[in-house]
Structure 1
Amino acid sequence: MRLMVTDGTTTLSYWLNWRFLLCAILVLTPMAVAFYLIWKYERPTKDSCSDREALHDERSWILWNDEAWRPCLKEIPPSFLMVYRVIAFCLLLVALSFDVAVHGGELFYYYTQWTFTLVTIYFGLGSVLSLYGFCKDNRMNNKVNDRIVEDTEKGLYMPLACEGTSNGKVGGNLDYKGKSNTPCSAALWCNLFQILFQMTAGAVMLTDSVYWVVIFPFLSIKDYEMSLLTVLAHSLNLILLLGDTALNSLHFPWFRISYFILWTGIYVIFEWTIHACLPLWWPYPFLDLSARYAPIWYLLAAVLHVPCYSIFALVVKLKEYALSRWYSQSYWCQR
């Protein structure tokens, strides 16, 4: 899958020209806007841990901690989502390992492989959080059961907060509003997990759509071979992520397209840095700054971020709308 090497990427004349200046503006300006949006919406507050209720009233997109491992419907046990994430993580890790073993470390010059690795990390962290939530719920249920046995032996009866729930189990350490009192350190990991979800969603849509719609049909690459690993790298991540989206309770606020933009911007800067130091081939021909219309290609790539993120946001909205209409009594995410 290697393209032809572009001559002169290590010379000053390759970089000191109007094309690179325009491309740099097209990359750095969205990154600056993204940093501003993150600062505006994500900056910590003094009571971010002590007053979680007030924080959620102010920032509705922030997860209640159990939403990181709780399925969107009450009928689906958290263990089901946990098993799904563990299986997805194993499949992605095996596919990634085989791909690196076959093609070597040069594979990470591709944005596709960066994204595939990010999706693998997402499911790895999701598996850990799901296991944490599963163990936490089990501990709480055991405490409740022990309390019932103790009160029964003493001839006492005390109403429990979990009575009247659909499954008769406690969904976590609940306060009077039914929200999870998870430690702040765990809450930080849960919010990081939600950010990863939105980064991977946009990046996967971008890589897979560009590959199947642009690169594969229209670009002829020397010694290009369509292998099973190539197909998996551009399809398995999206399939597994859509499955997790159908099951999870994660939200999809629009401003977090900023992380997706930063992810792509960091990749482009990485490619520029590598090519400024070493005479390497460009993994994607539209990144080549020697092309006359390079700024147009960079502009198109930047604009593509909006529809790619929008499509996945629409998928999440359609899921929320359908479940709230069809399963209004058991849909968790109505608030």
Structure 2
Amino acid sequence: MENSGDKGAAEGVGYWLQWQVLLSALICVLPTVVAVRFLRRIGGGSDPLKSVDLWSPCWRNLHPRWLLFYRAFAFITMAYLLYETVAALGFIVFLFYTQWTFVLVVVYFGIATLVSIRGCRKPGEKESNLGVDEKLGFLEHLMQIIYQTSAGAIMLTDIVFWCLLLPFMLGENFQLTLLIGCMHSVNAVFLILESALNRMVAISFS
């Protein structure tokens, strides 16, 4: 008669050898390896960010107010989606990691909007007169930390949801709605566009 303990151990090992688990591990490990190599390459030689880098677009001909409007739009849209999700499903949604990463991006765009408002109100808007000796304050440091944290978090959650979970969840017990789809995609879309617009290309540890 087979020992129940040995059978349980075998089933436990079998669980960790499933392709879904291995793929999830790769999703976590590969970006980490790329990030470490990237940080080792630029960490020692990159110039520290200035205040102007957090509210000026990377495109020279694009006025900072456009980045402000975009951040405000992203904040309002995501806050509305979060409100609709909680109103429809209740606070139980915060038992899931996805909602917390979504909230993190909402907080980022809220802080980024405030930083952009403060930057656009400064006298003189020529780049030669902006941010030469300005250093990051608490709000700017917090904005940069949340930006770097949420970027990896939302990519992980969205990829896992669309590529690993959703194909096996579709059925009688689960129905993909527009709201659920937005909660697992809008955050990534907004943050990718933000990355294409802002000037936070250097990573500062000073």
Q: TM-score range by the shorter chain?
A: 0.7 to 0.9
Q: Contact 1:69–1:133 (CA<8 Å) still a contact in 2?
A: yes
103 and 201 in structure 1: CA distance in 2 versus 1, 3 angstrom threshold: same
Which of 1 and 2 has greater Rg?
Answer: 1
Q: 2:164 aligns with which of 214, 217, 223?
A: 214
Listed as ranges, the gaps of 5+ residues in structure 2 are 1-11, 14-38
Task: Indicate conservation of the 8 Å contact 1:122/1:193, yes or no.
Answer: yes
Tell me how far 1:190 sits from its aligned partner. 1.3
Cα distance per residue 1:242-295 (max 9 Å; x no partner): 11111001136499xxxxxxxxxxxxxxxxxxxxxxxxxxxxxxxxxxxxxxxx
Of the candidates 87, 97, 100, which is equivalent to residue 111 of structure 1? 97
User: For residues 72 and 186 of structure 2, what CA distance do their matches in structure 1 show?
Assistant: 15
Q: Which one of 137, 146, 157 corresponds to residue 196 of structure 1?
A: 146
Residue 64 in 1 paired to residue 50 in 2? Answer: yes
Judge conservation of contact 2:154–2:188 (CA < 8 Å) in 1: yes
The equivalent position to 2:134 in structure 1, one of 181, 190, 199, is 181
What's the secondary structure of 1:60's corresponding residue?
A: coil
d(CA) in 2 for partners of 1:97 and 1:172? 42
* 2:155 aligned residue (174, 197, 205): 205
**% of aligned pairs identical?**
35
Deviation at 1:73, TM superposition (A): 1.8
Match of 1:127 in 2: 113
Query: 1:135 Cα shift?
Result: 0.5
One-letter identity of the residue aligned with 2:59: L
Structure 2 contact 58–198 (Cα < 8 Å) conserved: yes
Equivalent position amino acid for 2:185 in 1: S
Separation in 1 of the partners of 2:146 and 2:198?
14
Contact 2:53 2:200 in 1 (8 A): yes
Between Structure 1 and Structure 2, which shows a larger proportion of helix residues? 2
For residue 89 of structure 1, the aligned residue among 69, 75, 88 is 75
CA-CA distance at 1:230 after TM superposition: 0.3
**Is residue 76 from structure 1 mapped to residue 62 from structure 2 by the alignment?**
yes
- What secondary structure sits across from 2:62 in the alignment? coil
CA contact (8 A) 1:125 1:193 kept: yes
Counterpart amino acid of residue 192 in structure 1: L
Q: Is 2:126 the partner of 1:170? A: yes
Task: Please give the alpha-carbon distance, in whole angstroms, between the structure 1 residues aligned to 2:78 and 2:111.
Answer: 13
**Aligned AA for 2:68?**
M
Q: Secondary structure at the match of 1:179?
A: coil
Structure 1 unaligned regions, length at least 5: 1-17, 20-40, 42-56, 142-168, 256-335
Query: SS state of the match for residue 120, structure 1?
Result: helix
Q: Structure 1 residue aligned with 2:193, among 223, 228, 243?
A: 243
Q: 1:61 to 1:200 in 2, by over 3 A?
A: farther
Query: What is the root-mean-square deviation of aligned Cα atoms in Å?
Result: 3.0
Asked whether the equivalents of residues 61 and 252 of structure 1 are also in contact (C-alpha less than 8 Å), the reply is: yes
User: C-alpha separation between the residues in 2 aligned to 1:107 and 1:207?
Assistant: 15
Q: Distance in 2 between matches of 1:229 and 1:89?
A: 17
How much does 1:94 deviate?
0.3
Using the TM superposition, give the Cα deviation of residue 97 of structure 1 relative to its aligned residue in structure 2, in angstroms: 0.3
Count of residues paired in the alignment: 169
TM-score, with length taken from structure 1: 0.46
- Aligned-partner Cα distance in 1 for 2:171–2:95: 16
What is the TM-score of this pair, normalised by structure 2? 0.72
Q: Give the 3-state SS of the residue equivalent to 1:240 in structure 2.
A: helix
Deviation readout 1:205-250 (Å, 9 max, x if unpaired): 0111000000000246762121111000011111111111110011
Contact 2:105–2:187 (CA<8 Å) still a contact in 1? yes
Distance 1:252 1:195 in 2: 13
Structure 2 vs 1, CA of residues 197 and 78 (structure 1 numbering), >3 Å: closer, same or farther?
same
